[in-house]
Amino acid sequence: DGGITQSPKYLFRKEGQNVTLSCEQNLNHDAMYWYRQDPGQGLRLIYYSQIVNDFQKGDIAEGYSVSREKKESFPLTVTSAQKNPTAFYLCASSKFPGGAPDNYGYTFGSGTRLTVV
Amino acid sequence: AQSVTQLGSHVSVSEGALVLLRCNYSSSVPPYLFWYVQYPNQGLQLLLKYTTGATLVKGINGFEAEFKKSETSFHLTKPSAHMSDAAEYFCAVTGREDDKIIFGKGTRLHILP
């Protein structure tokens, strides 16, 4: 079955440490997205990529970095510059460009919960 | 530009009662509209979407939503709530200029026994 896999499900980070969250999809989707979710704040876009080797900042990119070396993979690194990284992180993917109406909509992974200890 | 407003960050209904979650949107072009559901510690799952055609859209788990252009609304309903419906629900819109979807802040649905 096609889908999008995030790992690990739970991650603990020490102060000053960089950590990388994995996101892999086998849906043959061109576009991938990273969101941060905090209670009561909905989904906030961190980075997105619509093509391999290219990505754009979202609304809250500071303290995060990404790469898109393969179509299937879009890892997110939470750097030590991110002062409040404790949150639930969601990865999503979609066809791009959308084209036909049926192509619109994101498929989400099951999320990674990051906690600073 | 597109935006979404979900009225009520928390909604409580009794088991067996009507569920109504409100969503209003703003879009400069004919929108595509979505409802997603999120259970605790999980990702979002598509409930239903409106793109073109019939304005009453049926989704999974007995939910449906009606696109009302004159009211710029896309409210989600279910005739009879079940305990398993307790979750967070997100309304979303895309204007298709860059294929990005804009999400509302979410409404947490509580089901009272």
- Residues B42-60 pLDDT 10s: 999 999 999 988 999 999 9
Within chain B, what is the greatest distance between any pair of CA atoms? 44
Q: Residue A51 corresponds to which tokens in the numbers above?
A: 């093509």
Closest CA to B107 of B3, B33, B5: B5
Residue ranges for chain B with pLDDT beneath 70: 96-98
Nearest CA in chain A to B42: A110
pLDDT band at A1 (very low <50, low <70, confident <90, very high): low
Instruction: Answer whether B52 sits within 8 Å of A96, measured CB to CB.
Output: no
Q: Which residues of A touch B105 (CB under 8 A)?
A: 40-42
What per-residue confidence (pLDDT) applies to A101? 77
CA pair distance A32, A54, nearest whole angstrom:
11
pLDDT band at A104 (very low <50, low <70, confident <90, very high): confident
What per-residue confidence (pLDDT) applies to A54? 96
How far, CA to CA in Å, does A20 sit from each of A11, A23, B27? Answer: 9, 10, 36
DSSP assignment letter at B71:
T
- Residues A9-51 pLDDT 10s: 999 989 889 999 999 999 999 999 999 999 888 899 999 999 9
Q: Would you say A47 and A58 are in contact if contact means Cβ atoms under 8 Å apart?
A: yes
- Between A97 and A5, the more confident residue is A5
Instruction: Answer whether B96 sits within 8 Å of A104, measured CB to CB.
Output: yes
**B94 close contact with A: CB closer than 8 A:** yes
Instruction: Answer whether A110 sits within 8 Å of B100, measured CB to CB.
Output: no
Q: Give which of B9, B49, B101, B102 to mutate to test A binding, by max A Cβ within 10 Å.
A: B101
What per-residue confidence (pLDDT) applies to A106? 93
CB atoms within 10 A of CB A97: 13
CA pair distance B72, B23, nearest whole angstrom:
9
Q: Give which of A38, A104, A107, A115 to mutate to test B binding, by max B Cβ within 10 Å.
A: A104
CA pair distance B6, B36, nearest whole angstrom:
13
